[in-house]
Structure 1
Amino acid sequence: MATTLYRNGTIYSAADPFATALLIDSDTVAWLGGEEAAERYVEKADEVIDLAGALITPAFVESHTHLAALGRNLGGADLGAASSGSQLLELLSARAKGAESVIIAQGWDETSWVDSSLPSETDLSSAAGGRPYYLARRDVHSALVNRELLDRLGLGSIASGVVRGAEHDQVRQALLAEGPGVEEFQRVALEHYAARGFATVVEMAAPHLEGREALDQLLAADQADHPQVYAYWGELVQEETAAEQLIRSFPQGRVLGLGGDLCVDGSIGSRTALLREDYADDAGNRGLAYLSIEEITAHLVACSSKGIQAAFHVIGDAALDLLLEGFDAAAEQVGVAKLQAARHRLEHAEMVDEATRARLLSYSITVSMQPGFDALWGGPEGMYEQRLGERAATMNNLSAMLSSGVPLVLGSDAPVTEVNGWAVVHAAMSMSNESGRISARAGFMGQTRSTYRAMGEMNPFAGQLLIGAPATFAIWSASELAIQTPDERISSWSTDARAGTPMLPVVDQEIPTCLRTVRAGVLLFDQLDQLNEPTA
C-alpha cells in the first residue's frame, strides 16, 4: 500500500483550484493542497516526485472508439495521408508489400483532394499486386473493393468499385471470417490511448464491425496495466427477453448497452446519412435509412422494459426525425418514464435543430459528439459544405446542446479522428460555427466527469481529483495554463488566480505532452523521467 507525493506542480481540481501537490495512497487520492502543507507528508510518503511545474488532471475517457481498426492504422493500414488518387495508389502499393492475403486499409478522403477522382479498379488492383483489397473511406461507411475480393468472399452479385449501405455491411461481415485475430491490434490501440492520458475507453462493437468474438476477446483481456474497457454492442433486438439474455451474455457491467453503432443511417462523406433535403452535390439523393420505425420502436421497448440502455448511430436530420418517431411510438407502449430511466444515447447527431433538441431533452437522451469532425470537414469549402451547402453552417452545435440541458459527452471515433483529448478540447473551442463553441472546461469535462456519468458510473468522484477519489489521473507537460472561454466578446483567457477556477492548458498553439497515466493507482504509461532531462 505505497504512498506517493507529487509536488511543485499544478493540480486540476475544483476542490482546491490552487493546489500544487497531490498525495496518492495506493489507489486513492489521500490529500491535495499547497506546498507548505505538503511538507507534512514528505517524510511519510514512500516516494516524493517533483513535478517541476507539470500539470496533473483526471485522466481522459474515450466515449467512442474502434480499437482494432485503430490498431490496424497504427500498424500501417492508414490511408489518411493520401492527398490525391496517385498518392492513394502509392500508399496501397506500400501496404501490399506486407504478408496478408487480403489487403485491409482505411482512411482515404477524396473531398480534401484537388482532383476528387478515385483511381480505377485496374490501377488499384495493380498497386495491390493483384491481391483482393478492402479500402474503407475515412468515415467507414463506404469502401473501395475489387472483383478479386468479392469473388473470394462469395459476393459475386455485388458490383466492384465503391460499396455502400447494405452491400458494404455484407462485405464487412464476410471479411470477419477472412481476417486474422485482432488481439494484437486491440493491445496496440490500448497502449496508444494510455500514452495519450486515457485511462478508460468505450469500444463501439457490432456484428457488422469486428464481430462478437473480437469483443469477447477484448473484454476477457482486461489487464490492470491497460485502460479500462467498456463497450456497446450494436445488435438489434425485438423483444425484452432477447435483450436481457444478450446483455447477460457479457461480463457484468462491461457492456453498457445495446447499440452504439446500431446505425439508423450512414455518413455525410459517403452520402448515406439520411437527410430531409437532397445532397447539395448529388441531386435526388437523400441518403439511406438502415432501420425502420418498427425496428427502432421494438428495440427501444425491449431495452427500456428491462432498464437496458439503447444507443443509435444517427447523423442526418431525417434520420433523427425517424429515430424520434420511434421514441414516440415506444413511449405509447411503455411510457415516457421508462424511456427516460434507461438513459438512451445517440452517437454523432450532427444535424440537430432547436425543436429536435427539445425532444431529445424530453426523453433524457444523452448525445455523444465528435468535435474533431468539424476540424476535419467544417468551414468554408469543407466536406460538409460540399455535401450540404448552407445547411452545414448550423451543424455540430455543442453550445446549443449544453445550454438546452441535453447531456453531452465528447470523443474521437478513432481512428476516424486522432486520439488526442486536448485536440478535442481545441476543436470544441474552435468550431467553424462560432455559436456552437464551448469553453475549454466544458470540452474537458465532456471527456472526463461527464463521460463517467453517461456510463452510469456510481462513484460520484469518478473523473475528478479530490480526497477519496480514485487515483486515476494523467500528468502533462504544458507551458501555459489559463481559464479559457470561446466567447470573443470578453477576454478569451485569464490567468488571474483570484478567479478561483482551476486552469487548463492553452491548446491553440501547443498540445500538451503526456508524461504519466495512472488508473486506480496502477501505472499505464510513464515517461516522467523527461521532467529531469536537460533542455537544449
Structure 2
Amino acid sequence: MVEASRRLLLRNGRVLGGRPSVPATSIAVEDGHVVSVGDEQHADRVAGSGHGAPEVVDLDGALVTAAFVDSHVHTVRTGLALTGLDLTGRRSLTEVLDALAAHASTHVDAGVVVGQGWDETDWPEQRPPTGDELERAAPGRRTYLTRVDSHSSVISPALAGLVPGLEQLVGWTEDGRVERDAHHAVRNVLEGLIGPDERLAAARTACRAMAAQGIVAFHENAAPHIGPEHEIEVVRQAAAETGLRATVYWGELMAVDTARRLGVAGLAGDLVADGAFGSRTAALTTPYDDRHETYGHAYVSAEQVRDHVVACTEAGLQAGFHCIGDAALDAIGEGFARAEEIVGAEALRRSRHRLEHVEMPSAAVIEILARLEVVASVQPMFDGLWGGPDGMYAARLGERWRDTNPFLDLEMAPVRLAFGSDSPVTALGPWAAVRAAVHHHHEGQRLPAGLAFRAHTRGGAFAAHDDLGGHLGQGARADLAVWEVPGGYAASTPQEPTDAMPDLTPGAPLPVLRRLLAGGDTIHPDTTDPEEAA
C-alpha cells in the first residue's frame, strides 16, 4: 500500500457526484479527504495554487465515483466459496455430486469438504442431495454442502456422526438434511474442523475480492450460528491488511456484555427472526404455495424484539434482525413500536437500528421503519436471481412474489436503503446489484439509477454511522473508485440530469475497476506488488 499524498488531484475524467448542472471532471484531495470537485478550469486552479504541488493523476476519461459499501457480507464463508467448492449455478443433482467427487479427490487432506451454493429449484430431480449420495461421491469424507440461502444444508454420515444428539434435534431428517437447531449444531462442530489459519486465508481472499470490485468498506454479519467469536478478529485483520474498513455486527439476542467485549457496532445482522424463501423457512402469514402444510419458521416474538431493541438502545448499540417473511416482519414492526413506547422515538432514531433483507414488509411495517428511521439493508440480487413470474420466489409464493423486495416503496416512505450482497449467498458485484435494483422484476419497484447507486455507497456508510464515507461532498473521506466504462454512459433525463452514470441496460458491459483509494491511499491494485502494479 502506498502512502497517501497530502495533496492529490484527479483530472480529465468524469466525476459521478458533482452538481448535475456543472459536469465535473476533476476532484481534489488533501490529507485523505475531498476538498473540492469541479471542471478542468477548477483543476488548473488547484494545480497552480500556492499550497504545494499536488500529485496529479490524469484519468484519461475514466469515471470517478465514491467507492462502494457492501452492507452484508460473510467474509470467511465468502473466501471459502471463492477458493473451495462453489456449487452456484449447477444445473442438476448429478452435476453437484460429480463436482463433489472431483473436489474431494483433489483435496485429500481437508478435514472437512465444504461446498456452498446449491439450488434445487430448477433441477430435473427437483430435490437436494442426500447424505448417502454424498457418501457415495466422497466415501468416508466429512462433507457439508449448504444451500444457496445458507438456511439448510446436507451432510454426510461421517460428519453427522460427530454431532452429539443430532437425531433428536429439531431440523434433522434421516436423509442428511439439516436446518434450524440441527443446522446450528453442525456448524458448531465445523468450528473445530476449520482452523484459524484456514479462516484467515479465506478472509484475505474475500477482502482482496471486495477491493477488486471497488468495495472500500463492508459490514460483517457475524453470529454464533455462523462462526466462532475469534473469527471476528480474523476478519478485522484481513480487512486492515487490505485497506478496507470493516464494521462488525454480532447476531445474538440481548448479549450486550458480549457486544462490548467483542467491540462490535451492534447486536444485529444475522440475528435471525426467520429463515429464507428457498428453504421454505421464511416465516409467512399464509402457507407456501408449493407446500401448503408449512408457514416457515419464526424465531423471535414481538416481546423479544422489544426487549432487544430497548437493551441495545440504552447500551448505545445498533439493534437489528434478519427478517424476510411477512410474519417475521410483522413481529419486528410490533416489537419496534413497543420499544418506542419505552425509550421514545428520538432515541430509536439516533441509534440507526437496522434490518437485513426486509423482503415482505407490509405497508404498516414500512411506516414504522420510516417513522423510527430504521435502516433497511437489502440485497437487489435476490430479486435479480429469484424474482419475476418464472423465478424461485414465484414457485414458493405464487403471485406474492410481487410483494418481495419493495425497494421503491421503502425509498418513498422514506426508509434509508443500504445495499449489500449477502456474499456468498450472491456474488460480490455492486454494479450488478445497482443494475438489478434499476431493473427490478416488478416495474413498480424499480429505483432510479442515482438512488440505487446512493444506496450502495452513502446508504451503507450511513448504516454504519460513518458520515464521512460514501459520498464526494467537501470534507468526505477520499474513498474513491476509478472505472473504465466499456458500456458507455446513460442518457441524461429530467428525472436524472447527469452525464456520468454508466449505462446499466441488461446485457451492457459493467464498469471495470482501474484504481481504488481508501482515505486517499491506493489499495487496489496493490502497488507494493510490482507485477500487479504493472
Q: State TM-score, norm by structure 1.
A: 0.90
1:56 alignment partner in structure 2: 64
**2:122 aligned with 1:112:** yes
Give how far 1:476 is off: 0.3
**2:381 aligned with 1:354:** no
Aligned mates of 2:249, 2:480 — CA distance in 1: 24
Aligned mates of 2:407, 2:424 — CA distance in 1: 21
- Counterpart residue type for residue 30 of structure 2: D
Alignment partner of 1:39: what SS? Answer: helix
Give how far 1:392 is off: 0.7
Distance 1:405 1:2, change over 3 A: closer
**More moved, 147-156 vs 71-80:** 147-156
Residue from 475, 500, 504 that aligns with 2:501: 504
Give how far 1:516 is off: 0.6
CA contact (8 A) 2:111 2:194 kept: no
CA contact (8 A) 2:207 2:238 kept: no
1:87 alignment partner in structure 2: 95
Q: RMSD of the alignment, in Å?
A: 2.5
CA contact (8 A) 1:61 1:198 kept: yes
1:100 alignment partner in structure 2: 110
Matches within 5 A, 1:409-420: 409-420=418-429
Distance 1:102 1:332, change over 3 A: same
Distance 1:174 1:9, change over 3 A: same
Give how far 1:431 is off: 0.7
Distance 1:316 1:47, change over 3 A: same
CA contact (8 A) 1:21 1:35 kept: yes
Residue from 175, 192, 208 that aligns with 1:177: 192
1:236 alignment partner in structure 2: 253
Give how far 1:360 is off: 2.1
Q: Alignment identity in percent? A: 37
Alignment partner of 1:330: what SS? Answer: helix
Residue from 139, 144, 151 that aligns with 1:129: 139
**2:213 aligned with 1:196:** yes
1:212 alignment partner in structure 2: 229
Gaps of 5+ in 2: none
CA contact (8 A) 1:107 1:136 kept: yes
- Counterpart residue type for residue 71 of structure 2: S
1:277 alignment partner in structure 2: 286
**2:78 aligned with 1:66:** no
1:391 alignment partner in structure 2: 400
CA contact (8 A) 2:483 2:511 kept: yes
Gaps of 5+ in 1: 484-492
Deviations 1:451-508 (A, max 9, x none): 212221243xx3222443222100000035545xxxxxxxxx4279x97535211122
CA contact (8 A) 1:57 1:473 kept: yes
Give how far 1:169 is off: 1.4
Aligned mates of 2:496, 2:459 — CA distance in 1: 23
Matches within 5 A, 1:7-46: 7-15=11-19, 17-42=22-47, 45-46=53-54
**More moved, 287-296 vs 129-138:** 287-296
- Counterpart residue type for residue 510 of structure 2: I
Aligned mates of 1:403, 1:180 — CA distance in 2: 46
1:146 alignment partner in structure 2: 156
Aligned mates of 1:358, 1:469 — CA distance in 2: 31
Residue from 165, 170, 184 that aligns with 2:180: 165
2:262 alignment partner in structure 1: 250
CA contact (8 A) 1:482 1:495 kept: no
Residue from 468, 476, 485 that aligns with 1:469: 476
Aligned mates of 1:108, 1:463 — CA distance in 2: 34
CA contact (8 A) 2:248 2:265 kept: yes
Distance 1:295 1:502, change over 3 A: same
Alignment partner of 1:130: what SS? Answer: coil
Matches within 5 A, 1:485-500: 493-494=491-492
Give the length in aligned residue pairs.
512
Distance 1:499 1:200, change over 3 A: closer
Aligned mates of 1:344, 1:246 — CA distance in 2: 18
- Counterpart residue type for residue 452 of structure 1: A
Alignment partner of 1:300: what SS? Answer: helix
Aligned mates of 2:29, 2:141 — CA distance in 1: 54
Aligned mates of 2:416, 2:476 — CA distance in 1: 23
Deviations 1:236-260 (A, max 9, x none): 11xxxx52x3332134xxx221121
2:524 alignment partner in structure 1: 525
Aligned mates of 1:119, 1:196 — CA distance in 2: 33
2:388 alignment partner in structure 1: 379
Give how far 1:511 is off: 0.7
Deviations 1:169-195 (A, max 9, x none): 121122112222211111110110101
Aligned mates of 1:80, 1:389 — CA distance in 2: 24
Distance 1:9 1:278, change over 3 A: same
- Counterpart residue type for residue 492 of structure 2: S
1:5 alignment partner in structure 2: 9
- Counterpart residue type for residue 162 of structure 1: R
CA contact (8 A) 2:492 2:499 kept: no
CA contact (8 A) 2:389 2:401 kept: no
Aligned mates of 1:433, 1:217 — CA distance in 2: 40
Aligned mates of 1:28, 1:159 — CA distance in 2: 55
- Counterpart residue type for residue 206 of structure 1: A
**2:479 aligned with 1:479:** no
Aligned mates of 1:122, 1:107 — CA distance in 2: 19
Distance 1:389 1:222, change over 3 A: closer
- Counterpart residue type for residue 465 of structure 1: L
Aligned mates of 1:401, 1:360 — CA distance in 2: 9
Alignment partner of 1:507: what SS? Answer: coil
Deviations 1:401-426 (A, max 9, x none): 11111111111111111111110110
Matches within 5 A, 1:308-387: 308-387=317-396
CA contact (8 A) 1:191 1:226 kept: no
Alignment partner of 2:140: what SS? Answer: coil
